[in-house]
Structure 1
């Protein structure tokens, strides 16, 4: 389906341009912009290319994708960045550890080889050698039952579009810092990720993909806290037994 006319109108208004201002930028009469937006005429290829560059969208996105309803189609298709890693004498990658105290500095130093070399490094067995890994120390209780101090071992993702709904990820972001959340991918539709805590005391929130610097898919964790076994939920029979036992104890106390 051709969405060109509605896309031109939506993107022009979003850019704060009048029909006359857009016409001036692409070198046509204002009446032509009106005709484009009403679907009475289609722009020539040269005008289409200028509008695509002006609005920073792909030509096929401008033609065939409902941008107003579905959001940008091609946000975060490129790799996030070139990753800086630390190697040993055999040219094999270490797992660099970003502790809680190092988290703030990591936002400025993640691309600095000297900074990365000064982080603690280690290895874990049974991890695929096809990935780059990094360890991040949890702070706070938003992802219980994982406790503060737990190390999350993440595998690096090159594209935000690789995120699978409901899986857990470490996100290195411009505004939120380093966060570990259960993530839902709405990049294609809205250019955003939806971050959810496992502790329901914390509200979920959106993270625009433009704010994301790195994405690490959780593959393992290291913790000194052993999880408590989950208690079985009480049934009506259990409650009835507890009440009968309590009554029996009260009668014994009264009799004595």
Structure 2
């Protein structure tokens, strides 16, 4: 560590004992070595609260497809391709093989991707519905209560309502609009891509006589509080 920081070995002991404080350049080198943000290194109690998801993240290069006029296409990820997408999302050749299309009336200053839903966890959107998401480059930009498509190492490609607890415990809380499915947590470091839902395409037309009860954000918030209280009791 002393060699990598370009300081004397005795200086490392001085840092540990509190007899000396590293200079800003040394702090930057140290945070790079430990792969954490400077803010986390200085202010976050890792021993008590665990690692934060807003630690330094490797830069993701987003692979996109364009048409003959160099306009971005919307790449569609069908249900059958979702498993392969985990390995191929950064591969230009893989992305080019997926279906491409355009949609009018979407802002031009963003990148979009379409994902075909599987299962009924997000009713009233039925299986086969295509959700169009706008790329979110920073996890900290996730807004609690909004719906997102998350590409994760642990859960695969999922479409859920997300509650952001990254600054507290480094995790995202994922909730289904269908109350028969249990919420679950995902670590920030396991998230590969985030797409904020902006539109959807469905062959299912709404029936005015079908008055299914839908959960409100207040209902979901209370559910999360109850689950977190249960987890604290179990840990206790």
Q: Unaligned regions of 5+ residues in structure 2, if any?
A: 1-7, 214-236
Structure 1 segment 162-181 matched on structure 2, within 5 A = 162-181=141-160
Structure 1 segment 218-233 matched on structure 2, within 5 A = 218-229=197-208, 230-231=210-211
Q: 1:130 aligns with which of 109, 119, 125?
A: 109
Q: 2:22 aligns with which of 22, 45, 52?
A: 45
Structure 1 segment 77-88 matched on structure 2, within 5 A = 78=57, 81-88=60-67
Structure 1 segment 65-144 matched on structure 2, within 5 A = 65-72=44-51, 75-76=54-55, 78=57, 81-144=60-123
Q: 2:138 aligns with which of 148, 159, 162?
A: 159
* 1:71–1:189 contact (8 Å) kept in structure 2: no
- 1:116 CA displacement: 1.0
SS in 2 for 1:45: coil
Partner of 1:215: 194
* RMSD of equivalent CA atoms: 2.9
* 1:172–1:178 contact (8 Å) kept in structure 2: yes
Alpha-carbon distance in 2 for matches of 1:214, 1:28? 43
* 1:77–1:161 contact (8 Å) kept in structure 2: no
Cα deviation, 1:93-130, whole Å, max 9, x if unaligned, reads 11111000111111111111111111111111110011
State which structure, 1 or 2, has the greater radius of gyration over its C-alpha atoms. 1
Q: 1:54 to 1:76 in 2, by over 3 A?
A: closer
Alpha-carbon distance in 1 for matches of 2:127, 2:62? 27
Q: 1:121 to 1:74 in 2, by over 3 A?
A: closer
Partner of 1:246: none
Cα deviation, 1:127-152, whole Å, max 9, x if unaligned, reads 00111111000000110110000000
- TM-score (norm: length of structure 2): 0.74
Count the aligned residue pairs. 202
Q: Unaligned regions of 5+ residues in structure 1, if any?
A: 1-25, 234-256
* 1:80–1:158 contact (8 Å) kept in structure 2: no
* 1:76–1:187 contact (8 Å) kept in structure 2: no
- TM-score (norm: length of structure 1): 0.69
- 1:192 CA displacement: 1.2
Alpha-carbon distance in 1 for matches of 2:79, 2:201? 14
* 1:72–1:189 contact (8 Å) kept in structure 2: no
- 1:222 CA displacement: 0.3
